[in-house]
Chain A
Amino acid sequence: MSSMITKNIFRFVLIILVQVVLLNRINIGGSLNYFHFFLYPVFILFLPLKTQRVTTILLAFILGITLDFFYNSPGVHASACLFTGFCRTYVLRILEPVEGYNKDHNLSIYKMGVVWIASYTAILLLLHLIWYFSIEAFSFIYISEITLSVIFSFISSYVVILLFLLIFNPKQ
């Protein structure tokens, strides 16, 4: 149990470092930059299955606030992370396999299969991006910018997240 907490704290730090130090500096497309790289939702997505819903939401909030410190955008990431954490339960329920989840397992490609992980990540990432860019623009006047940002950032973030999952693939 304590090893799981330690591991997740490590994951938390690692993800934030990669996000802030590395991904935040990538800029494709110059001034019209619709490509953004979102790795940090991975932390919420791949929390252990038996994490309580309340805990998930609280952790998502903490993750978002921490990112907001770095991005200097108080509340924006926190709001999006909260939403993702809130939706996680429902998406898990929708995608539940026939035999149910093994509560002791982590969510991993090894355990759940590539298709399941790919669709699970896609749904939650999309929800996250839609919420994030809507909050960032803060007005549906910018609906076209929001849509473009969501589409392009989804592509770039999806690639980054799948790579991350392949690199840090917990085998157990």
Chain B
Amino acid sequence: MKNLILFLVKYGSFFLFVFLQFICFYFIINYNQKQKSIYVNSSNLFAGYITQKSQQIFNFMNLDKENEALRKENSKLLQTIINNNIKRYGNDRDTTRNQYVVIGSNICGKTTNVRNNFVTLCKGFNDGLKSGMGVIDDKGIVGIIKDVSPHYASVVSILHTQSRISVALKNQNHHGYLEWDGSNQKIGILKAIQKYASFSIGDTVVTSGYSTVFPKGLPVGTIDNFKIEPSGETFRIEVDLFSDFSSIDNVYIVESLLKEEFLSLKNEEDE
């Protein structure tokens, strides 16, 4: 008690000052129009600033969720586009059914600088991924899934010396396959185009749709350079790939619902 009194005696004037200042500010803010409006406005500004900043932080924390939602939406749209294209140009197959399903994913890892490159997806067979599905991104094609674990999937990218994708020249029936020679990650090699095919540099190369891995007509790249193979029957065409593997992040996995049917028929043919 004695200490309290001593304390008050020592600092009493200070507390009185602060207390009376509070009263003054109460008066100022409540009974002066100008100061009142400034107070209200600046407190709004301040509060707005705080709200905005915290919103930014929470946005950042929600970025993963947000990205996943966008990927889902994108894959839905992509699915619609792909299926509509097939319905429009396809034969009179059952048009109410979707032939392709698209699943979005982000990538967990990739290599681009060795001869056999792989991309690792952050989704596995728990999310519906299976071996043999095609992987594309917003620009072009990425590769084909080889192995799946519960949470991850490994993709043989088109920058793999064993990779072989069935492609065609856009708006023409000539088709061949895309390989990679292991040197330039922007350039794929298109082989087996017959030598009587007519095309020019800059023409677009698209997927052929013959394998059911990729739907028909997905862009792959543009013709950069070409020459006739030593055998003299086919072209060897250098294709400038649309997919930029150095900046790849969001990919879409394409699944054909008719794949089993297609493959079983093919197997019967083979037997």
Given A79-B21, A79-B24, A138 contacting B39 (CB threshold 8 A): yes
B16 at the interface (CB under 8 A from A): yes
Contacts of A58 in B (CB 8 A): 16, 20
Contacts of B30 in A (CB 8 A): 74
B201 at the interface (CB under 8 A from A): no
Number of interface residues of A (CB under 8 A): 24
The reply to whether B32 and A78 form a contact with Cβ atoms under 8 Å apart is: no
Given A74-B28, A74-B31, A138 contacting B38 (CB threshold 8 A): yes
Contact of A82 among B21, B26, B38 (CB under 8 A): B21
B35 at the interface (CB under 8 A from A): yes
The reply to whether B17 and A75 form a contact with Cβ atoms under 8 Å apart is: no
Q: CB-defined interface of B10-22 with A at 8 Å, one 1/0 digit per residue?
A: 0011101100110
Contacts of A139 in B (CB 8 A): 38, 42
Task: Kindly provide the distance from the CB of A138 to the nearest chain B CB, expressed in whole angstroms.
Answer: 4
Segment 50-85 of A: residues with Cβ below 8 Å from B: 52-54, 56-58, 61, 64, 68, 73-76, 78-79, 82-83, 85
Contacts of A74 in B (CB 8 A): 27-28, 30-32
Given A54-B12, A57-B13, A57-B17, A82 contacting B24 (CB threshold 8 A): yes
Task: Kindly provide the distance from the CB of A165 to the nearest chain B CB, expressed in whole angstroms.
Answer: 26
Given A138-B34, A138-B38, A78 contacting B16 (CB threshold 8 A): no
B25 at the interface (CB under 8 A from A): yes
Task: Kindly provide the distance from the CB of B16 to the nearest chain A CB, expressed in whole angstroms.
Answer: 5
Assembled-state Cα–Cα distance A76/B31 (Å): 10
A130 at the interface (CB under 8 A from B): no
Contact of A76 among B17, B20, B26, B28 (CB under 8 A): B28
B23 at the interface (CB under 8 A from A): yes
User: What are 21 of the A-B contact pairs (CB < 8 Å)?
Assistant: A56-B13, A57-B16, A58-B16, A61-B24, A73-B32, A74-B27, A75-B32, A76-B24, A76-B28, A78-B23, A79-B24, A82-B20, A82-B21, A82-B24, A85-B17, A86-B13, A135-B35, A136-B35, A138-B28, A138-B39, A139-B38
Closest 4 CB pairs of A and B: A75-B27, A79-B24, A75-B28, A74-B27
